[in-house]
Amino acid sequence: MKDFIEKLAADGELLIVDEPVNPKFELAAVTRKIQTISEKAVLFNNVAGTRLPVVSNLYGSHDRLCRLIGATSDAFCPAWDKVLRSAVPSQIYEHVAAPADLMECSLSDLPLITYHGKDAGPYFTSAIFLALEPDTGVPNLSFHRSMYVNDRELRVRLGSSHDLARYQKKAEQRGEALEAALLIGVPPEIFLSAGYSLPYEANELELAAKLLGGPVPMRSCSRIGLSVPAATEIVVEGRFVPNVRRPEGPFGEFLGAYVPVGDNHVFEVLAVTHRAGAYFHALTCGTAEDLRPLEALTAARVYEHVSRVVKGVLDVSTRPNCMISILKIRQEYEGHGKHALLAALGSNMDYNKVCMVVDEDVDIYDLNDVMWAFLTRGPADQRAMVLERIPGFYRDEMKDHWGRLAIDATMPWGRQAEFERKAIPGEEGVDLARYLRA
């Protein structure tokens, strides 16, 4: 991550805050304010209660995410799909010695950031959990917010559909604790791999090796039997205590409201280490840094599925908050759009509350353009399908996200000429400086 931060600084994409900042609300407030005017990352050098600098909004730009995988700004999904299809490196891991600059500390030495007004306390929001499947030993990387209680205890909400929840359940049924490590401040390849949903038996570190183009350097932990990516800035070692649940929450989630208090998993902290001069990565849930990667990687998952079922799929985006999937296709036959919608609805059980399909001339990253296509290219009542009583999100006790909506906003087959966009010749090349007074 240090290399990534240095690259952002060299490219003028890093803002520096030297003013003292309170980790309770103020840091999150400043971050949010910056995100309203800029996509640049921000580095806080003077955060109360800690010696560590805090960096945020590293992944808050779609263009930056595209650059990380060598994609153009409008082709993240095809580029990601190319990575998925690429050959696995001959070696996935490379075991290395622990860094010489590794230091031990306590959880309370880290930045303890409280983000929202009704949050139960400080949370670690960017932490990636690394754990091993109890039977196969396959590693899993996944994001789970963790509430700070004291230097020995975190409380963690594990979504029922997540692989880590299944790992913990298996271990608990055997009366065993599940060892895990929290990774804070990882290389971008690890961050992106953790955010992508792979099949249960798959290995996210294998995906990271594909993104790196070679093996992931791994080092041993000091108190648990796991190895972690050696470049990680901060590592929290511990274990999920079996058959124990304690209150966690409320917390301001990515959908914009508070998740209420729930009895959730207890993580016993056994050791905390950090690199010399480590950066702490703080991620404010529901902001651009939370949503841009989630949107891009959710869209890539939909694209992977749909493009293997239906031909002519050019790209996919998800907007907003990952509850809307928008497909761009090149129509090849009547009903092509509806086939794409059917495939999209089955591609993701957690997020596709609304699926839409448009023609290749529509900007799928602009909801105004998408809605324009829906409103102008055919009768609305004949192009929307409501699917009732279908679960839509894994954590939805009140069934607020049940039901799906599918909208075909493509041009009617055989009448494309009637719907050609109007254009003004020469508009793209106009230099306004020639026409306006200074």
What local confidence, expressed as pLDDT, does residue 396 receive? Answer: 61
What local confidence, expressed as pLDDT, does residue 402 receive? Answer: 79
Span 362-402, pLDDT tens digits: 999 999 999 999 999 988 888 898 888 877 665 566 667 77
Which stretch of 39-48, 186-195, 374-383 has the lowest confidence by average pLDDT?
374-383
What local confidence, expressed as pLDDT, does residue 397 receive? Answer: 67
Q: Is the dihedral of CA 58, 63, 64, 70 positive or negative?
A: positive
Q: Which fold has domain 289-413?
A: UbiD C-terminal domain-like (3.40.1670)
CATH number listed for the domain at residues 2-286: 2.30.110.10
Q: Strand (E) positions, 319-415?
A: 324-329, 354-359, 384-387, 404-408
Q: Which residue has the tokens 């997020």?
A: 351
> What percentage of the chain carries pLDDT values higher than 90?
77
385 phi, psi to nearest 5 deg? -120, 125
Q: Report the DSSP beta bridge partners of residue 357.
A: 327, 408
Q: Per-residue pLDDT averaged across 54-80, rounded?
A: 91
What local confidence, expressed as pLDDT, does residue 203 receive? Answer: 94
Give 166 or 391, the one with higher predicted confidence: 166
Q: Per-residue pLDDT averaged across 81-106, rounded?
A: 92
pLDDT of 120 strictly over 90: yes
Q: Report the DSSP beta bridge partners of residue 93.
A: 216
User: In sequence order, what are the residues at sequence separation of 6 or more whose Cβ sits closer than 8 angstroms to the Cβ of residue 427?
Assistant: none
Every domain of the chain and the residues it spans: 2-286, 289-413
Which stretch of 6-20, 228-242, 360-374, 397-411 has the lowest confidence by average pLDDT?
397-411
Span 138-165, pLDDT tens digits: 999 999 999 999 999 999 998 777 899 9
